[in-house]
């Protein structure tokens, strides 16, 4: 997930009071450490050359992501709330995601090698110094209340982990240092192809409390007609049949095996396409065409959210370490109330909806996160993928991307009218 960043934090200064460390501060420090551990673990097996190589014009070299993660942390957790000067002068300009399109990021004098590693740890040390001095329990400042800005920076690092995995899929012979095969070996489940959702007046979006992005708010009622939705994500088997019958483009990373079937090459491994797994790496046009071919349609994002009610994020293939999907129908004990499984995790699901503001939307804490992306050029995806960290995924979470993108971990499930 690529996100814009603020051009500058100027103009924002908050009041900081000295206090003893609170349990909230301890929890924040632990979570920051865990997030960084995961980031570094993802790239641990790579050479310096691999970290700096451009694998795709639409993805940053990994070294840029690492510097950007640390620089974004410095901007918010050190400069903005700690009121400190930038550590490395104009460095932030190199890591501004809006000013520097991905295809030119490797030409910039970004930090590399030991210099990059020491910048990351120096920023972290200052972050912890600032955190020590904050009074998070007695603040009216919306950026600090309930540790909001720390949630923002954690979510940012989690989401960059997923972007990094988009690139890691292209790295020849990438071998993660740790792998959890649990969800990948979960059994499927039997059930109807589609389940019915009653509709009616449905509450959409995140409530006023707890962490959520500005684009998930405010929570509001939407009137939905009853509809049906696929019980599982669309499988590789079904998508292969669609490709064979229509001559449509196959998903990213698929190639003919010469015997009428398909292979898939990611992370330097070529394997036969498993028909039981959810299809992944399809763009919006492919998803939409599949749904039409199947006599169905893509759900709107509101239908998707209504169908996802009750889905259990703890029983979902999230958090990266499986490095692939569970079979369609797996993790049935985490099903949504309507009976649909895998609403969360495995693949991001394309919806029919454009990325638009909710009624009463207010940009917070900066317009470059969501507001500049609203409009018909971006389509909404829901639910998170195996490559998403668990702490960033919830049923109200809205991801968005250009309809032609397929390097993202995107699949689909179909809907149809109640008839
Ligand atoms: Fe970013």
Q: What is the mean pLDDT of residues 338-348?
A: 98
| Predicted confidence (pLDDT) per residue in 71-118, tens digit | 999 999 999 999 999 999 889 999 988 888 888 888 899 999 999 999
Nearest to 3 by CA among 144, 152, 218: 152
Q: What distance in angstroms lies between residue 4's CA and the mean position of ligand 1's atoms? A: 6
Whole-number pLDDT of residue 404 = 98
Strands of the 398-401 sheet, one edge to the other: 398-401, 375-382, 348-355, 410-411
pTM of the model: 0.92
Q: How confident is the model at residue 135 (pLDDT cuts 50, 70, 90)?
A: confident
Whole-number pLDDT of residue 3 = 41
Whole-number pLDDT of residue 129 = 97
Q: What distance in angstroms lies between residue 74's CA and the mean position of ligand 1's atoms? A: 13
Q: What distance in angstroms lies between residue 378's CA and the mean position of ligand 1's atoms? A: 18
Percent with pLDDT over 90 in the chain = 81
Whole-number pLDDT of residue 22 = 57
Task: Among 27-36, 87-96, 347-356, name the one with the lowest average pLDDT.
Answer: 87-96
Q: Which two tokens stand for residue 277?
A: 């797994």
Task: Among 11-25, 58-72, 211-225, 385-399, name the one with the lowest average pLDDT.
Answer: 11-25
Q: What distance in angstroms lies between residue 418's CA and the mean position of ligand 1's atoms? A: 41
Nearest to 262 by CA among 30, 397, 249, 146: 249
| Predicted confidence (pLDDT) per residue in 202-259, tens digit | 999 999 988 999 999 999 999 999 999 999 999 999 999 999 999 999 999 999 999 9
Whole-number pLDDT of residue 14 = 33
| Predicted confidence (pLDDT) per residue in 1-20, tens digit | 334 433 333 333 333 333 44
Q: What distance in angstroms lies between residue 95's CA and the mean position of ligand 1's atoms? A: 9
Q: Which two tokens stand for residue 370?
A: 């969501």
Q: What distance in angstroms lies between residue 267's CA and the mean position of ligand 1's atoms? A: 23
Q: What distance in angstroms lies between residue 97's CA and the mean position of ligand 1's atoms? A: 6
- Bridge pairing between strands 227-230 and 269-272: unpaired
């Amino acid at each position: 997930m690529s996100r814009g960043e603020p051009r500058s934090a100027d103009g924002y200064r908050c009041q900081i009071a000295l206090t003893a460390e609170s349990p909230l501060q301890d929890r924040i420090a632990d979570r920051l450490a865990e997030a960084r551990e995961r980031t570094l673990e993802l790239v641990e097996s790579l050479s310096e050359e691999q970290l700096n190589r451009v694998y795709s014009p639409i993805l940053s070299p990994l070294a840029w992501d690492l510097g950007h993660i640390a620089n974004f942390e410095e901007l918010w957790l050190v400069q903005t709330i700690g009121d400190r000067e930038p550590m490395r002068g104009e460095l932030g300009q190199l890591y501004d995601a809006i000013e520097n399109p991905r295809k030119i990021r490797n030409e910039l004098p970004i930090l590399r090698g030991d210099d990059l590693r020491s910048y990351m740890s120096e920023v972290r040390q200052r972050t912890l110094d600032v955190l020590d001095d904050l009074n998070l329990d007695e603040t009216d400042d919306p950026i600090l209340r309930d540790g909001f800005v720390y949630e923002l920076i954690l979510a940012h690092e989690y989401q960059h982990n997923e972007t990094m995995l988009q690139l890691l899929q292209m790295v020849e012979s990438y071998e993660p240092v740790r792998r959890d095969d649990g969800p990948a070996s979960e059994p499927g489940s039997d059930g109807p192809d589609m389940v019915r959702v009653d509709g009616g007046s449905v509450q959409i979006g995140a409530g006023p409390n707890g962490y959520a992005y500005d684009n998930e708010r405010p929570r509001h009622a939407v009137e939905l007609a009853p509809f049906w939705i696929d019980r599982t994500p669309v499988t590789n088997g079904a998508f292969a049949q669609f490709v064979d019958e229509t001559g449509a483009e196959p998903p990213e990373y698929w190639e003919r095996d010469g015997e009428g079937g398909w292979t898939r090459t990611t992370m330097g491994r070529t394997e036969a396409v498993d028909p039981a797994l959810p299809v992944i790496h399809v763009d919006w046009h492919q998803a939409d065409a599949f749904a039409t071919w199947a006599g169905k349609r893509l759900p709107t994002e509101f239908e998707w959210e209504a169908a996802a009610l009750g889905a259990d994020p703890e029983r979902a293939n999230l958090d990266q370490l499986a490095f692939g999907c569970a079979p369609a129908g797996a993790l049935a004990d985490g099903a949504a109330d309507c009976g649909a499984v895998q609403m969360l995790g495995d693949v991001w699901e394309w919806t029919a909806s454009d990325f638009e503001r909710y009624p009463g939307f207010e940009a917070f804490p900066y317009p470059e996160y969501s507001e500049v992306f609203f409009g018909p050029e971006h389509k909404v995806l829901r639910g998170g993928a195996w490559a998403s960290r668990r702490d960033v995924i919830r049923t109200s979470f809205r991801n968005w991307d250009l309809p032609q993108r397929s390097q993202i971990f995107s699949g689909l499930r179909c809907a149809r009218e109640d008839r």
